[in-house]
Amino acid sequence: MSSITLKAVEKWFGDIQVIKGVDLEIEEGEFIIFVGPSGCGKSTLLRMIAGLEETSRGQVLIGDRDATAEPPYKRGLAMVFQSYALYPHMSVRDNVGFPLKSAGLPAAEIAAKVDEAAQVLKLEAYLDRRPKDLSGGQRQRVAIGRSIVRDPTAFLFDEPLSNLDAALRVEMRYEIAKLHQSLASTMIYVTHDQVEAMTLADRIVVLDAGQIVQVGTPRELYESPANLFVAQFIGSPQMNIIAADAAHNLTPHEQASSAGIRPEHIALIDGGDGHLQGEVDVIEYLGADTFVLVDCGAAGKVTARVIGDTHLRPGDAATMMFDEARVHWFDAEGHVV
């Protein structure tokens, strides 16, 4: 294990700059997740750490060692990709042990390390099977096992669950969380799925247009977003944004251009003025929760979260009351005020 530090790293493809002076310190044993919209540079930044993309400017430090110019095989990192990249003609045992065999380790040592990785990942019963006989989640565990046997300095994950169905994603999230607990290894993980980010990360790095917008724990990003971009990116459904003076009986911050309120911080009440009134447009019933989308005219469409079901139906009048302590205020540039 080791810490990883990025110092003013940049990536240029010709005249196009895709990573714009990123500074980041990742502590030893920390689980860091990169999130952001498509094209924000999160996978490029991960590949720069791995050495799969050249760093145009700046430094990549692994521990106290400057690894900026080192090839991937010298960095001591293990990368798990979106595709499993398993050898179809090999057994699970041979796939997991292949990196060690390529390195020339003795057969007995390879067998011991493969057995240890299989135990961690609960693959003991599948060691003699081939990849075609495994489920998607089992194949991804084999790919992770191939990384574990190398005893890497850190694990790098590039959207490893995106090929799995919803049920397997939940299962593999649990497996990866348990893996981090058992190995206590440094892990850097790229995803576009904020549920993965919120449930797995010690800290989340939010990127936009090749720059870090905010770094913090899941709770910090959710409760105290640095700006309008983070406020709307983190959270599903996303935070409601209305004009600062659109809500009745709500005094806007003097510098605010807009107000933000999350769906779970809005109550639907019977009677009274409330903060906003409108007409129910769509009901999204999810069992444990119901999302009520209300057309508030000039204020736009606002989503409220109801625990369980609601008596409201499309076309009904709806009155909304905000939790005023949970309102976020933003200026015209989208900064928190």
225-253: pLDDT as tens digits: 999 999 999 998 999 999 999 999 898 88
Per-residue tokens: 87: 């050898």
Q: Kindly list the distances between the CA atom of residue 128 and the CA atoms of 94, 115, 134, 135, in Å, as whole numbers in the listed order.
A: 9, 12, 11, 15
Segment of 135-139, 165-169, 262-266 carrying the highest mean pLDDT: 262-266
Question: What average pLDDT does the segment 205-216 reach?
Answer: 97
Express as a percent the part of the chain with pLDDT over 90. Answer: 77
Per-residue tokens: 237: 């459904």
Least-confidence region, from 2-11, 53-62, 116-125, 218-227: 116-125
Residue 284 confidence (pLDDT): 97
Least-confidence region, from 36-50, 74-88, 193-207: 74-88
Q: What is the mean pLDDT of the chain?
A: 93
Give the strands of the sheet with 4-13, arranged side by side.
16-26, 4-13, 57-62, 65-66
How far apart CA 39 and CA 54 sit, in angstroms, is 18
Residue 238 confidence (pLDDT): 94
Question: What average pLDDT does the segment 307-334 reach?
Answer: 96
17-31: pLDDT as tens digits: 999 999 999 999 999
Burial class (CB in 10 A: 0-12, 13-18, 19+), 331: middle
Residue 1 confidence (pLDDT): 59
pTM exceeding 0.75: yes
Q: Where are the domains of the chain?
A: 4-230, 238-330
Q: How confident is the model at residue 32 (pLDDT cuts 50, 70, 90)?
A: very high
Tokens 């009901």 correspond to what residue?
283
Determine the straight-line distance between the first and last CA of the chain, rounded to whole angstroms.
Answer: 40
- Neighbour tally for 298: CB within 10 Å: 7
How far apart CA 37 and CA 186 sit, in angstroms, is 24
The CATH classification number of 4-230 equals 3.40.50.300
40-63: pLDDT as tens digits: 999 999 999 999 999 999 999 999
The third-level CATH classification (topology) of the domain covering 238-330 is OB fold (Dihydrolipoamide Acetyltransferase, E2P) (2.40.50)
Q: How confident is the model at residue 158 (pLDDT cuts 50, 70, 90)?
A: very high
329: β partners: 259
Residue 150 confidence (pLDDT): 84
What DSSP string describes 11-74? EEETTEEEEEEEEEEE-TT-EEEEE-STTSSHHHHHHHHHTSS--SEEEEEETTEE-TT--GGG
